[in-house]
A and B are shown apart, each in its own frame.
Chain A
Amino acid sequence: MEAERKKDAAAEEARQPHTRACEQELAMSWPKVGEAGETGDWRTVRPVLDTSKCLAAQRGKLACMQCWMFCPDAVITRTVPPGVNMTYCKGCGICVEVCPAGAITLEPEHEHEEEHGRDAHAAEEQGSADGDDQP
């Protein structure tokens, strides 16, 4: 009985998530992708690119790239066409504002989910988040 109880307690301890392993005594983070959490779940609207209007897509080369340059979260890739990492995109809409071709629109996230399913964005991510920004 006693051994079982101890085993249960140890298992409970192992299950219980705790923060001791981080060994920090003050809050800190490192400049790495994902250090601020999966901020994509803040999003209520998502940017959708119309490649028929996108200057880079139309010219078939790295042109314009205003969206990539202005994205405050660095989640737009420098590719043809530009991609958006939906794991981290907060849906702020700055890319929409700076696009000179009017190629990006914001769609309400709930409408998108109704159409494609809640987890659809993970499968259709166009860009990588690890800094690989070459086409």
Chain B
Amino acid sequence: MLRKNKGARTVTTNPDVHIITGNKAAAEAARLCRVQVIAAYPITPQSSVVENLAKYVDSGVLDAEFIAVESEHSAMSVLIGASMVGARVFTATSANGLAYMCEQIHWVAGSRLPIVMGCVNRALAAPWNVLNDQQDSMSMRDAGWIQIFCRNNQEILDTFIQAFKIAETTHLPVMVCYDGYILSHTVMPVEVPTQEAVDAFLPPYKPHTVLDPAAPRNINPVTLADPRPNADGVLCHGYMELRHLHHAALREAIDTIVAVDNEFGAAFGRSWGGLYWDYLRADAEVLLMAAGSLASEATAAVDALREAGVKAGVIGLRAYRPFPDDAVADAVAAAKVVVVFDKSLSYGYEGPICADLRAALHGRATSPAVHGYIGGLGGRDIKARELVAATCESIEWMKKNTGRKGTGWVNLQL
């Protein structure tokens, strides 16, 4: 992580470059997106996102309602109401705050509200832990939100701006995920775009459904298994039809995420790879795959592996839901093995990214082996040399074995 980021254009002599934390970058993005309602409850390591936003609202820099609430469940409930009357809204949370919000997270998605939330990735209790892993957002994988992981602070700022556009295009909520402390509390140079540039990229929110006393309606009435005609005789969706539409929207969002990233690139001179990014992939026989800052660190491991004569490369996953199965499967097709590092665990199976990659590759005529490693849980540091060692272990294993290798654990001291 101490290396220069290779995924993005490096900006040097620019007065708009500020040395800021990931949390400050998130708050700056929300300000630039002119969010109208913010409701949030502070939780480590997310707190400084909303502390900064509270300051902006208090000082008049940002014309928004800041609604202090007593819990994350209420924070998201407030945003549901505000979004349903047409406001652009924002919140952020971490770990147990996200878990406490869980029910409302599902309500947001089922209501197709374009809410954007920062998830500052932190380990879930029990036992209590405030440090980084990605178990929190992974536990919300199937809530029907778009999830995008960021690798550095510039990408955090840029992704939040993209997220509002993606959300308001697809009518899906977007969770922008970034690693607690590693990004949230680490300062990096970040180019903060001008308000004019962001306004040009992101027009004011045009709501798709508005609760209005002049034309009353019920949102989310009981919707049972079978379709049912309404009072005008029009056959309305049953629960299953709505789920299918929601799923179809997420699959279509695969294209929207790419299109918005390209559009952002044209407007701001930076794009982030859309669904995934890569490093030295073209001739790679061994690909290291991860999401977030760990993928950034994998570029350092790949440099070391290349020096040792291993043709290695990196796939950094940006979009986790919708899962870009075809794009990622195509990207890794020419490799011999993909070594996936998950900072979370689907208990009783394996790392979730690893499992999804296996499924995406299943049934293809030729596909690389997939080896999964779990690492960095509860904030345990992962060093580039440990990624190198795990990759070498996989290469050696493949010389002696065929079939499926069990999940490895990086730096497990048991």
Residues of A within 8 A of B (CB): 17-19, 21-22, 24-37
Number of interface residues of B (CB under 8 A): 28
Is B321 close to A, CB under 8 A?
no
Contact A27 B230 (CB under 8 A): no
**Contacting chain A: which of B157-165, B220-228, B277-285?**
B220-228
Q: Chain A binding site: helix, strand, loop or mixed by DSSP?
A: loop
Contact B111 A22 (CB under 8 A): no
Contact B231 A35 (CB under 8 A): yes
Is B236 close to A, CB under 8 A?
yes
Closest chain-A Cβ to B174's Cβ sits at a distance in Å of: 17
Contact A25 B217 (CB under 8 A): no
Residue of A nearest to B218 (CB): A29
Tell me the residues in window 188-241 of chain B with beta carbons closer than 8 Å to chain A beta carbons. Answer: 208-209, 216-223, 227-228, 230-232, 234-238, 241
Could you show 28 A-B contacts with beta carbons less than 8 Å apart? A19-B238, A19-B241, A21-B234, A24-B236, A24-B237, A25-B171, A26-B110, A26-B111, A26-B112, A26-B220, A26-B242, A27-B110, A27-B223, A27-B236, A27-B242, A28-B219, A29-B218, A29-B236, A30-B216, A30-B217, A30-B230, A32-B230, A32-B232, A33-B231, A34-B230, A35-B218, A35-B230, A36-B222
Chain A positions within 8 Å of B242 at CB level = 25-27
Chain B positions within 8 Å of A32 at CB level = 230-232
Chain A positions within 8 Å of B8 at CB level = none
Chain A positions within 8 Å of B209 at CB level = 26, 28
Contact B236 A22 (CB under 8 A): yes
* Extra 6 A-B pairs, beta carbons < 8 Å, given A26-B219, A27-B220, A28-B217: A22-B235, A28-B218, A29-B218, A31-B218, A32-B230, A36-B222
Residue of A nearest to B84 (CB): A26
A22 to B235, CA, bound (A): 6
Q: Indicate which residue in B110, B171, B228 contacts A37 across the interface (CB closer than 8 Å).
A: B228
Given contacts A17-B227, A34-B231, contact A28 B220 (CB under 8 A): yes
Chain A positions within 8 Å of B231 at CB level = 30, 32-35
**Most chain B CB within a 10 A radius of its CB, from A21, A25, A37:** A25
Chain B positions within 8 Å of A35 at CB level = 218, 221, 230-231
Contact B216 A27 (CB under 8 A): no
Chain A positions within 8 Å of B112 at CB level = 25-26
A105 to B230, CA, bound (A): 32
Chain A positions within 8 Å of B68 at CB level = none
Q: Which 7 interchain pairs have the tightest Cβ spacing?
A: A32-B231, A34-B231, A27-B223, A19-B237, A22-B236, A29-B221, A19-B227
Is B245 close to A, CB under 8 A?
yes
A18 to B208, CA, bound (A): 23
Contact B230 A29 (CB under 8 A): yes
